[in-house]
Structure 1
Amino acid sequence: MNTRDLPPLPAGPGQARSLAELNERSREIFRQIVESYLATGEPVGSRNLARILPMTLSPASVRNVMADLEQAGLIYAPHTSAGRLPTETGLRFFVDALLELGDVGQEEQGRIEAQMRAAASRHTFETALTEASVMLSGISRGAGVVVTTKQNANLRHVEFVRLDPGRALVVLVSEDGSVENRLVDLPPGLPAGALQEASNFLNARIRGRTLGEVRAEIEASREAMKRELDALTERLVDAGLARSVGPSEERHLIVRGQANLLEDLRAAEDLERIRLLFSDLESQKDVIDLLTRAEGGEGVRIFIGSENKLFSLSGSSMIAAPFHDGRQKIVGVVGVIGPTRLNYARIVPMVDFTARVMSRMLENGRV
């Protein structure tokens, strides 16, 4: 895996030209600044850089290069006479052009797959997703996140049950044994046998398929449904499908490991940043919207700081990768949210491998 799947560096034409023109010495100094930040969170100065560089340069020469990097918008000084830290643009450049990804070792691969198989053996899709988020939070010391569509599960049975003259319960039984209940309003004047007729109509089409797939088929053959059902029963079928796969319920978010984000706080501003991130995570719609952006294609996506409105205040990053089912349809995203100084080299391949394991399990019908 490489960083070709990542979003492009958000730079203007002049800045992009400056970045492309960085020589090897400048890139090495910039790399050391970023790697020091990712490891410690602290700024690094020219004297320390001169000692750790693989080439012989005086602190004065290093300072000259740092001045050029600062002018290019890649680094900045948090305080007067302090060392330098990477800007968000600098982090994006590092991720896109300089990041050297590690490998997921055989032992770690085996542990991840074993944990996912154990979760799958408990026979619910959500159990496996929760295990993935817990596992990634432990690996990254950030928050593990997963989002998927509630309509992923293949259904075994649908039943309409009248509660009172104006309402009915739609009971959805999935092949994995999970059950969901949804309330629907009944059309006035609905015949006594319409609930059973609607149940029979859907059960003849739904077994082994998702509600989304059945809804798409019914929309495509609307005239045939009109001939088979009377108008009120047709409205009942529509209501059941719409209530079950409506926009407010299409996405399901799992977040685990928020407490990890409280570790290694270095200053009051860190605590405020984490408070803002917790607030972001509570806004599930925005988190889901951001994760959904990672469904745009195969491979890992990285979102850094104010590149997206969700993290514009907390200065956080997200690493995410989509997973797909046996029909190669993307059905969800798994990832990690944490501070911008996440260990990208380690977490990117971990997220990618976890998404691949989830895809294989779905392809093999194990969740």
Structure 2
Amino acid sequence: MPSQDRPRIAFDHHTPEFGQDTAATTARLRGSCPMGFTDAHDGYWVASTYEHARRVLSDTDNFTVEKSADGQRGGKLIPTAPHAPAILPGALDGPAHDRLRKPLRSVFAKRSIEQNVAPIARRVADELLGGLVGRDEFDVAHAFSFRLTVATISEFVGLDELAEPEKFILMLEDAFAIDPEAGGDRDALAASTSRQFAEASDLVRDVVRRRAADPRDDLVSHMVDPSSGLTEDEVVNLSLSMLLGGVRTTAASMDNIVLHLGTHPDLRRSLVEDPSLIPAAVEEMTRLASVTPLVARTAVTDQDFGDVHVEAGDRVAALICSANRDEDRFPDAEQVRLDRRGGLHLAFGVGTHYCLGIWLAHMELRVAVEAILRRMPDYEVVLDRVRRYSLVGVNNGFAALPVRPNV
């Protein structure tokens, strides 16, 4: 399709306007132009329906997550950040991806997470809330969700001995170009932190070598075992990727759940009275939050979406926050339905790149909700001081989420 014939939309996920009323904006897209082209960030297609978004994410033969050889195009996010290190194994396709993911599957399996990591998360959640519920007010985003996810993933991976792990994570977010509010300046941020990233890699390499000599019960020790087939460099890169991937999206999902329950007292009361409903509620609220609003692929071959023709080399964004509210897939999409069945949402991806840490995230969210509703069931969100990130194109999270425990 000649470029002038492409169905055009005015769309840029790295603007404050995108986050102001995302549900209404994406509903208009689904209804008027389910596959539209925007000129923002050198141009990309936006797949806004569930059908189109799932196709883009699941068809790895025709849509690749990998960057070009020079690093200037491609990748999981838009715009591309050439200076950012690759987040593994998700930045790869095909056999290279599968070889790195295979040794990790058993450790991230649901049974393993529940047996080995859930006790960590419960302990950390109780410790954090023990120091918070007596206050008149505290910020959930900074004092609970972020700290819970950092502590849990650090101990699980085996990097909890690093000094100031929370600052370490914030530096990694800059280096990997996924700082929530970096917007279209992601690559400049990655370039500016390259020295710190090199130093961080050296610190992790020291831990990797110590685990090779004296294994512990953690992910690094599992990866350095010769049976994994992983090189030292791969273990270092995977450790950093796992550490990074296990924090911000889960913390943002946690915050969105806290806000939703704080503004839906009937649902909250139901969960307090019957905690067995929490897993289903978490699943639905995770769908609604869609904390990673979109992820990108690059077309490998020409592809048709109805009357719309996507050419090889075109960038395509799967608009997850729109797909997860598509009424054709999710009847009463704006509602939390605890009896919803057969509605696989895309918050954790789909297909080959389905989130490796899905059971870790599910467990942490469930544990957090259980702890909060047990320790402060009548909490109140201070709505007039809630602030989402000014830019939510990478992460639909919160700069501030104050609550009053009311214990």
Q: What is the TM-score when the length of structure 2 is the normalising length?
A: 0.20
Whose Rg is larger? 1
- Is the strand fraction higher in 1 or 2? 1
Q: What is the TM-score when the length of structure 1 is the normalising length?
A: 0.21
